[in-house]
Amino acid sequence: MNTLLEAVLGTGRLEGKALPTTGGEPDLHAITGLPARRLSNRLASRHTGAYGGDDAIDWVMDCVSLYAETTSNATYHFEKEGQRLRNPGEPVTDDNRDAGEVPGDLWNLFTNPNSQNDYTELMELAIIDLLLAGEFFWYKHGINGFGKPDSIYRLPPSQVEVVPGAVSPRGYIFTPAGGHPQEVAPEEMLHVRRPNPHSPWRGLGVIAGGPRAFDLELALTEQMANYFETGTKLSGIAETDRTVPPSTWKKIERVFNTLYAGGKNAGKVAFLERGLRFRSISADAQQAQFVEASKWSRERVANAFRTPVPLLGSVGGSDRQAVRESQRIWDNKTLRPFLNRLQSQISQGLTQAWDLDFAIDYEYVMPIEDRLDLGVDLATLPGIRVRELREQVGFPPLGDERDEWVLNLPGEEREQGGHPDAPIGSEAGRPPNPENTKRFPGPAPAQQRRLPGSADVSAKAVIDAALGRG
């Protein structure tokens, strides 16, 4: 086992070639053209700490988990020139016979990336790093002559430094906790980062994009915790008309802090001496507006991650339509573009060694209620066939002549599209030619509409058949 892999796994003696330092910690968003300088994401560790760390924020964890768990549990496939390849062991059908099969080494690499993580865990860690630190690093170990690695390891962004080059990084420096710096060649590193207008080398995380909003959430949570931990029954000012020596004030302060401060002492009766009077200045929970401030802070955090609040589990005050609409917008406008960029970066930096592209199978699935509503609306379009209607709402064809029924073509004279006008006896002159004048086709009752190429069937019956209700 080489020294770098031992450093990644945290095994063996952490020894390696000592690298010269730059004499100071560079800024997170520093831009430099000096090839000797190394850029580190010095705030990555703290920002990642918002997910179960020292500065953990529950709403941050909820938002990031929604991305990570959805992405890691979605199925994926490999394709070449837009054609999907068969997975090993997948049955051969007429649809995939000519597609070819995924190479076994590539399939095994994604199924079991390394001895520590499976695909699901590795992908979840990558999403957490990408959102919170703005980037993730995959170390490609055991690269052969074709650029194909035999395993992939996640490197914490806070422990990786980038060595800038003229156009692309000249290399990376990985420093494990308690170990020596290790050099990583550019071809051995998959570095995926979020766009950062302040640096071409390091990504910009969500928290770094609006840190004050998250600072306010931490401060609010701390204030709420202190409120219930320290209590407010005797939080105020002690007053007296007499002069009290400093030693006496210290004694009084110790008594108050020991006997009356804290939630465990709430409700106790205080006995004050020497003419002392206590005047409370604390606001109760309602006056402190904890509920309103907490909702406002939650929405700011959710908006930063572009995550609708109803998808985080708070559906008690939301109607079902709002939840479904939130899911549709998030799937189509947020998650799908996020996955497109993610799979593109992984394809360029990893699977192109096999001349294949990596794709994540995740699409918005319309709820059955919305599909039925869509079917009712589509059934009102003139000229739509039952087969086309069922296809649009995701239903299979009926398999009989009803699939070719046409909806909403009013009139009995189907070739001419309407009824001829009757001659008006009060008009002077020659009566109108019935073949030249047609009544404007207006809406007819459903029970009077006729369907071309079929028997006398009402439009309502066709809609019911199209939706499987008849």
Residue 327 lies in a domain: no
Who wins on pLDDT, 449 or 216? 216
Residue 12 lies in a domain: yes
Q: Which range has the top average pLDDT, 86-95, 117-126, 174-183?
A: 117-126
Residue 338 lies in a domain: no
Nearest residue to 169 via CA among 142, 135, 141: 135
Who wins on pLDDT, 46 or 153? 153
Query: What was the pLDDT predicted at 234?
Result: 47
Structure confidence at residue 454 as a pLDDT band (50, 70, 90): very low
Structure confidence at residue 194 as a pLDDT band (50, 70, 90): very high
Query: What was the pLDDT predicted at 465?
Result: 62
Tell me what the mean pLDDT of segment 109-134 comes to.
Answer: 95
The answer to whether residues 379 and 463 touch, using CB atoms and an 8 Å cutoff, is: yes
Do 71 and 28 share a structural domain? Answer: yes
Tell me what the mean pLDDT of segment 124-136 comes to.
Answer: 95
Query: What was the pLDDT predicted at 190?
Result: 96
Do 240 and 199 share a structural domain? Answer: no
Cβ-proximal residues to 466 (8 Å cutoff; 6+ apart), any chain: 375, 379, 386, 389, 390, 395, 407
Residue 185 lies in a domain: yes
- Is residue 32's pLDDT more than 70? no
- Is residue 124's pLDDT more than 90? yes
Question: Strands 39-40 and 75-80, how do they pair?
Answer: unpaired
Lowest mean pLDDT of 240-244, 388-392, 429-433, name the range: 429-433
The answer to whether residues 201 and 38 touch, using CB atoms and an 8 Å cutoff, is: no
63-77 pLDDT per residue, tens: 999 999 999 999 999
Residue 194 lies in a domain: yes
- Is residue 282's pLDDT more than 60? no
Q: Which range has the top average pLDDT, 95-109, 152-166, 268-282, 358-372?
A: 152-166
- Is residue 20's pLDDT more than 50? no
Do 204 and 237 share a structural domain? Answer: no
Q: Could you tell me the pTM of the whole model?
A: 0.69
Match 């409120």 to its residue by tokens: 227
Cβ-proximal residues to 91 (8 Å cutoff; 6+ apart), any chain: none
- Is residue 438's pLDDT more than 60? no
- Is residue 122's pLDDT more than 90? yes
Query: What was the pLDDT predicted at 2?
Result: 65
Structure confidence at residue 35 as a pLDDT band (50, 70, 90): very low
Do 261 and 189 share a structural domain? Answer: no
Query: What was the pLDDT predicted at 353?
Result: 95
User: 377: burial class by Cβ within 10 Å (0-12, 13-18, 19+)?
Assistant: exposed
Match 């950062």 to its residue by tokens: 196
- Is residue 449's pLDDT more than 70? no
Give the chain's mean pLDDT: 77
Residue 24 lies in a domain: yes
Which of 255, 280, 305 marks a domain boundary?
Answer: 280
Do 9 and 69 share a structural domain? Answer: yes
Match 């939650």 to its residue by tokens: 298
Query: What was the pLDDT predicted at 381?
Result: 81
Query: What was the pLDDT predicted at 378?
Result: 83
- Is residue 128's pLDDT more than 90? yes
Q: How far is CA 63 from CA 69, 72, 340, 363, 407, in A?
A: 10, 15, 19, 19, 45
- Is residue 24's pLDDT more than 50? no
Tell me what the mean pLDDT of segment 166-178 comes to.
Answer: 90
Query: What was the pLDDT predicted at 19?
Result: 35
Query: What was the pLDDT predicted at 230?
Result: 63
Tell me what the mean pLDDT of segment 350-359 comes to.
Answer: 96
Give the range of the structural domain holding residue 464, as residue numbers without chain letter: 366-422+443-470
Query: What was the pLDDT predicted at 242?
Result: 67
- Is residue 300's pLDDT more than 80? yes
- Is residue 106's pLDDT more than 70? yes
* Tally of domains in the chain: 3
Q: How far is CA 284 from CA 14, 224, 268, in A?
A: 55, 11, 17
Residue 288 lies in a domain: no
Do 135 and 262 share a structural domain? Answer: no
Distance of CA 173 to the CA centre of its chain: 30
Match 């589990």 to its residue by tokens: 313
Do 170 and 107 share a structural domain? Answer: yes
Who wins on pLDDT, 252 or 350? 350
369-397 pLDDT per residue, tens: 888 888 888 888 888 888 888 888 888 88
Distance of CA 327 to the CA centre of its chain: 11
Do 173 and 257 share a structural domain? Answer: no
Q: Which amino acid is at 358?
A: F
Beta-ladder partners of 239? 277
Do 268 and 182 share a structural domain? Answer: no
Q: How far is CA 402 from CA 131, 230, 371, 465, in A?
A: 51, 73, 20, 8
Tell me what the mean pLDDT of segment 205-234 comes to.
Answer: 77
Do 140 and 28 share a structural domain? Answer: yes
Nearest residue to 15 via CA among 5, 7, 23: 7
Residue 322 lies in a domain: no
Question: Strands 357-361 and 75-80, how do they pair?
Answer: antiparallel
The answer to whether residues 279 and 301 touch, using CB atoms and an 8 Å cutoff, is: no
Query: What was the pLDDT predicted at 417?
Result: 42
Q: Give a three-class secondary structure readout of the chain.
A: CCHHHHHHHCCCCCCCCCCCCCCCCCCCCCCCCCCCCCEECCCHHHHHCCCCCCCCCHHHHHHHHHHHHHHHHCEEEEEECCEECECCCCCCCCCCCCCCECCHHHHHHHHCCCCCCCHHHHHHHHHHHHHHCCEEEEEEECCCCCCCCCEEEEECHHHEEEECCCCCCCEEEECCCCCCCEEECHHHEEEEECCCCCCCCCCCCHHHHCHHHHHHHHHHHHHHHHHHHHCCCCCEEEECCCCCCHHHHHHHHHHHHHHCCCHHHCCCCCCCCCCCEEEECCCCCCCCCHHHHHHHHHHHHHHHCCCCHHHHCCCCCCCHHHHHHHHHHHHHHHHHHHHHHHHHHHHHHCHHHHCCEEEEECCCCCCHHHHHHHHHHHCCCCCCEHHHHHHHCCCCCCCCHHHHCECCCCCCCCCCCCCECCCCCCCCCCCCCCCCCECCCCCCCHHHCCCCCCCCCCHHHHHHHHCCCC
Query: What was the pLDDT predicted at 312?
Result: 85
Q: What is the Rg, in whole angstroms, of the alpha carbon atoms belonging to the chain?
A: 34
Nearest residue to 196 via CA among 135, 126, 127, 113: 135
Do 105 and 140 share a structural domain? Answer: yes
Structure confidence at residue 470 as a pLDDT band (50, 70, 90): low
Q: Which amino acid is at 64?
A: V
- Is residue 447's pLDDT more than 60? no
> Torsion-angle region of residue 280: left (phi > 0), alpha (psi -120 to 50) or beta?
beta
Do 399 and 466 share a structural domain? Answer: yes
